[in-house]
């Protein structure tokens, strides 16, 4: 049963990794990963509690076996049997608590899966709605016929305009001209005759 939970955790991790690779909804993913971390911590705590219960049960079985062996302890058998029954009852109650905790963990895991599915759907819709950056870049080039120098400094506007007659270099220092001037100049290079 615990191995099934670990497999489910691995599946959720893989799904979350897919969403993370899609580079969308970082904040939502962080919350999902935090929830997964808490879920993993709870699972480890449940496993350690179950292992402790198994150790206690084994110790109790050994004690019962030694008291039931023929020997001097024959009169103490009924008292020991009652103590063992009480220990067994406590172990069962603890097991019931673990099962309830396990149900809450499963519910949280299902919520994470649903959230992951919604993220994938939203990402798919967004991919359909927004054109690729390469397409937009090609469209800008077709309209403006400007090949930009992307290695220019942050205040430099550099590139080559391939006008109707000749290629014309562009080199404007943005710190010495207003944005309005730069914009007007670049728009003046775009041909208006279609």
| pLDDT per residue as tens digits for the range 39-81 | 888 888 888 888 898 888 888 888 877 776 655 555 566 777 7
| Nearest in space to 88 (alpha carbons), one of 56, 52, 45 | 56
| Nearest in space to 40 (alpha carbons), one of 75, 82, 8, 84 | 8
Number of H helices, E strands in the chain: 5, 3
Q: Please enumerate, as own/partner, the contacts of 112-119 that have beta carbons within 8 Å and a separation of 24 or more.
A: 112/12, 112/16, 112/32, 112/35, 112/36, 112/39, 113/12, 113/15, 115/28, 115/32, 116/12, 116/15, 116/16, 116/18, 116/19, 116/32, 119/19, 119/24, 119/25, 119/28, 119/29
- At residue 158 the predicted structure's pLDDT band, cuts being 50, 70 and 90, is very high
For residue 170, what is the enclosing H or E element?
A: strand 167-173
Least confident span in 68-82, 149-163, 166-180: 68-82
Residue 181 has a pLDDT of 92
Residue 25 has a pLDDT of 58
| Nearest in space to 91 (alpha carbons), one of 53, 40, 137 | 53
Percent of the chain with pLDDT over 90: 4
> pTM of the prediction?
0.33
Q: Which residues contact 148 (CB under 8 A, 6 or more apart)?
A: 158, 159
Residue 20 has pLDDT above 80, yes or no: no
Beta-bridge partner residues of 98? none
Sheet holding 146-148, edge to edge: 146-148, 156-162, 167-173
User: CA torsion sign, 73 to 76 to 78 to 81?
Assistant: negative
CA angle 161, 130, 22 (to 5 degrees): 110
Residue 103 has a pLDDT of 73
Least confident span in 43-57, 127-141, 154-168: 127-141
* Top-confidence residue, 3 or 53: 53
Residue 176 has a pLDDT of 92
CA angle 190, 192, 194 (to 5 degrees): 115
| Separation of alpha carbons 29 and 62, rounded Å | 49
| Separation of alpha carbons 172 and 148, rounded Å | 12
């Amino acid at each position: 049963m615990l191995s099934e939970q670990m497999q489910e955790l691995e599946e959720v991790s893989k799904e979350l990794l897919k969403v993370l690779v899609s580079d969308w909804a970082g904040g939502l993913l962080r919350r999902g990963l935090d929830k997964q971390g808490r879920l993993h911590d709870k699972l480890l705590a449940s496993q350690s509690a179950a292992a402790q219960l198994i150790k206690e049960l084994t110790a109790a079985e050994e004690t019962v076996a030694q008291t039931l062996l023929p020997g001097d302890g024959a009169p103490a058998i009924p008292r020991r049997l009652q103590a063992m029954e009480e220990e067994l009852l406590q172990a069962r109650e603890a097991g019931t608590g673990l099962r309830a905790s396990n149900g809450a963990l499963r519910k949280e895991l299902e919520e994470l899966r649903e959230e992951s599915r919604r993220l994938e759907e939203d990402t798919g819709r967004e991919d359909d709605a927004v054109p690729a950056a390469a397409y937009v870049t090609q469209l800008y080039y077709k309209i403006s016929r400007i090949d930009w120098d992307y290695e220019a400094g942050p205040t430099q506007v550099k590139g080559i305009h391939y006008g109707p007659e000749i290629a014309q270099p562009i080199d404007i220092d943005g710190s010495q001209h207003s944005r309005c001037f730069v914009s007007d100049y670049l728009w003046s290079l775009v041909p208006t005759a279609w």
